Structure 1
Amino acid sequence: MQGRVKIMIIGHGVLGGAVLDLLSQSGRPYDLYVGARNVQQASLRANVARYTALNLGHHPTIEVVPMDLMNIEATAERLATLHPKIIFNATTLHSWWTIRQLPPDAYHQIDRARGGVWTPMHLVLVRRLMKAVREAGLESVVVNASYSDVTNAALAAEGLAPAIGIGNVANAVPGIRLAAAHLLGCDLKAVDVRFFAQHYVSYRMPNTGTTDGAPYHLTIYREGQRTQPEELDHDEIFANVAGQFRRAGDLTGQSVTAASATAVVRALADRVERVVHAPGPLGLVGGYPVRITPAGISIDLPEGLALDEAVEINKGCQKFDGIEAIENDGTVRFTAESAEVMRKLLGYDCDAVALEECEGRAEELARKYDDYRRRFE
């Protein structure tokens, strides 16, 4: 790699901060920028990254800059001035662990709606970011952490899709590799996988040992050779992922997501050829294995699986996450079951959200969720 690479991280919370740490400790020639509304808080977090990296013998270049994604014009001006090669969006109006803070019974009630119903909260900031990138006239590669299985595909309707997402499908792959190597009795390095699945499978399977009927596609390789169905049973693999190779979840497990994000960002920054797993690549629904090269990104399809077949698998899988469909104009339509849960629990009546409506819907949902939360205080 020639020269230094400018990487902008927007958001310095649990995920953004962890990615900042990992990039700071990489020893690579990156100029790291942290965009934040609260510069003072972000500076404190950036110093944690500096201290940690220095203890490990690295000397990162980190600069904190003011950035409010709600202000598209100011964001565009800032981005045009800095001209980052890569932008990592680690912002959302609704972190996935928010509902986990509810009492168990309240959490289980609302979790029946699944993840898709929170889409308006995930769309607002990344949509404004992408408008700012367009206004700035940049060709920066945007990596999106905000429910990119769905938001990237919805934003594609406006020509605003980030290049790729992170986490979700990628978080399930290490467990599958560990379980497959164990069952095959071989070295972990010998095992590789190609996994196609929407967000629902990526969190449900590692917890329950099953996809609950949600569709997916999994190809496993040993020493580069495709294994045969009689060699490995998927149910047995998944049972081992949720059993012997079960990992800590909640915020403790967020380091796995941060590592997946860092793998994507580093492959793009270092201009190397690497296969990663990621949601929302190229504005597609769901998660895929993605080949990143200096020339760009593409879906890494195993022999016998066409791209349209992979997309249909993810479209079927997203119904289990409460998404009936993402329409051609970017409207996200929820399943009747998920919409009904939100109507009964929150009084939130929303069967679908159009892109132009996402901010109003997000405000309404935030308000009604807050009312719901307060019932249990």
Structure 2
Amino acid sequence: MLILGQGVLGGDVLDFLLQSDTRLALVVGVRNPEKALHRVNLARYTAMNLGRSKPVEIEAIDLMDIDATAAAIDRLKPDIIFNAATLHSWWVITKLPTEAFKRLDEARGGIWTPMHQVLVRRLMKSVRMANSRATVVNASYPDVVNATLAAEGLAPAVGIGNIANAVPGIRLAAAHMLSLDPSSIEVRFFAQHYLSYRMPSTGGTDGAPYHLTIYANGLEVPRSEIDHDVLFSLVAGRFRRLKGLAGQSVTASSATAMLLALANRSGQVVHAPGPLGLVGGYPVRVSPTGLLIDLPGKLTLEDAIDINRQCQRFDGIDSVDDDGTVRFTGRSAEVLRDVLGYDCEAYGPEDCEGRAEELAAHFANYARKYGMEVATAA
């Protein structure tokens, strides 16, 4: 398994993988191996304290260099590649003063799509160049990015986090309502990033569409027996968790669950965004022969996709066209203009690097007004 990036998420995932009992040969790919060594050693120390000891190699890999990355992939021949690199980590804007953050956050998460797209797009070009059969798992806004890349034949196999982060809270709340142990509860949840981010914070959906089927001891629980409004209020209330960087372990553990499911291929169902180049989030069955969307009996794949297409508008994405063009909603484009002074209503995949550079410059100027210096890094 090749892990690309040793920022907050990449480091946390490495911790969990080293502490697991699955046999893995791990390689960490980073731009600065000397800087990464200390983080890798921290992960190994922690795992050894828990009785686990797996070797970890460190490789110098710069995702912006497509040819060199392809050569490294060809030499390493990974079975699984996990991309934890982005030009814009989600938590950066949360460091703004509260009012400045709120003004910008009205545009929702979709506006940062080009900055999330650049590195994984180059990675996928390297994967294709190397004729690699590796399963690529993308952590960089996969709800939208994977779909834009699909138009170019560059879609990663699946994403991580987002919808998966909401599932534990739903299971805990459902178990509480049904007076059962959480281990007896399973769910099949379909929703885009916006809802999986918003609902655990507010206890509501703000009207964003979703589909949720709950099972208790293998049997479907009728909707009449479990009120979703009460369920969601419990997720944001009694079962509310720490968020922000302090809650990053939830994303890292959901990523680890997907990576281990891919390593083991035992038919496990793991919730994930962007599977098979689709927009939004789905339950995914990781079978020995590939990935399958695990649909409840009354939901078609077309309906599930439509739910996610509608839901993504709440995240600032009006549509992802068949050619990969990303179109922002009118409100999100308006916030970009009014708050950042940046005009962008839509862009094609080939324009993502130029758009990312422009967006980064406008955000840096905005942040500087509030005494915050921004350094973009993979």
- Classify the TM-score, shorter chain: over 0.9
Distance (Å, rounded) in 1 between the aligned partners of 2:138 and 2:7: 15
Structure 1 distance, partners of 2:295, 2:23, is 32
Q: Distance in 2 between matches of 1:101 and 1:258?
A: 21
Separation in 1 of the partners of 2:370 and 2:209?
36
| Alignment correspondent of 2:219 | 225
1:311 counterpart residue number: 305
TM-superposed CA distance for 1:41, in Å, is 1.1
- SS of residue matched to 2:85: coil
What's the counterpart of residue 61 of structure 1? 55
| From 317, 326, 329, the counterpart of 1:323 | 317
Q: 4+ residue runs of structure 1 moved beyond 2 angstroms?
A: none
Deviation at 1:271, TM superposition (A): 2.3
Amino acid aligned to 1:162:
P
Name the aligned partner's letter for residue 22 of structure 2. Answer: R
Count of equivalent residues: 371
Q: Which amino acid aligns with 2:49?
A: N
Query: What do the CA deviations read for 1:137-156 (whole angstroms, capped 9, x no partner)?
Result: 00100000000000001100
The alpha-carbon deviation at position 229 of structure 1 amounts to: 1.6
Partner of 1:292: 286
Question: In the alignment, does 2:243 pair up with 1:249?
Answer: yes
- Paired with 1:353 and 1:93, the residues of 2 have a C-alpha distance of 17
Is the deviation greater in 205-214 or in 43-52?
Answer: 43-52
* 1:88, distance to aligned residue in structure 2 (A): 0.2
SS in structure 1 at match of 2:187: strand
Distance in 1, Cα, partners of 2:23 & 2:177:
40
The corresponding residue for 1:264 is: 258
Please list, as runs of the form range in 1=range in 2, the aligned pairs for 1:1-377 lying within 5 A after superposition: 7-377=1-371
Which structure 1 segments of 5+ residues have no match? Answer: 1-6
Q: Match of 2:271, SS?
A: strand
SS in 2 for 1:324: strand
Name the SS for the 1:251 alignment partner. helix
* Aligned equivalents of 2:67, 2:246: Cα separation in 1: 37
Alignment match, 1:3: none
Identity of aligned residues (%): 62
Cα offsets for 1:255-276 (capped at 9, x unmatched):
0000110011001112221000
Alignment partners' CA distance in 1, 2:135 and 2:23: 18
Shift of the alpha carbon at 1:27?
2.6
Secondary structure of residue in 2 paired with 1:230 = helix
For residues 211-240 of structure 1, give each alpha carbon's deviation from its aligned partner in whole angstroms, at most 9, with x where no partner exists.
100000000011111111221000000000
Q: Give SS of 2:25's match.
A: strand
Q: Separation in 2 of the partners of 1:209 and 1:267?
A: 30
Q: Aligned AA for 2:61?
A: M
SS in 2 for 1:30: coil
Q: Which amino acid in structure 1 is aligned with residue 272 of structure 2?
A: A
- CA offset at residue 28 of structure 1? 2.1
Per-residue CA distance 1:97-140 (angstroms, 9 max, x = gap)? 01000000000000000000000000000000000000000010
Q: TM (normalized to structure 2)? A: 0.98
Matched position secondary structure for 2:223 = coil
> Which amino acid letter does the alignment assign opposite residue 293 of structure 1?
S
Q: CA deviation at 1:90?
A: 0.1
CA distance in 2, matches of 1:336, 1:353: 14
SS at match of 2:279: coil
* TM-score, normalisation: structure 1: 0.98
Counterpart of 2:155 in structure 1: which amino acid? A
Which sections of structure 2, spanning at least 5 residues, go unmatched? 372-378
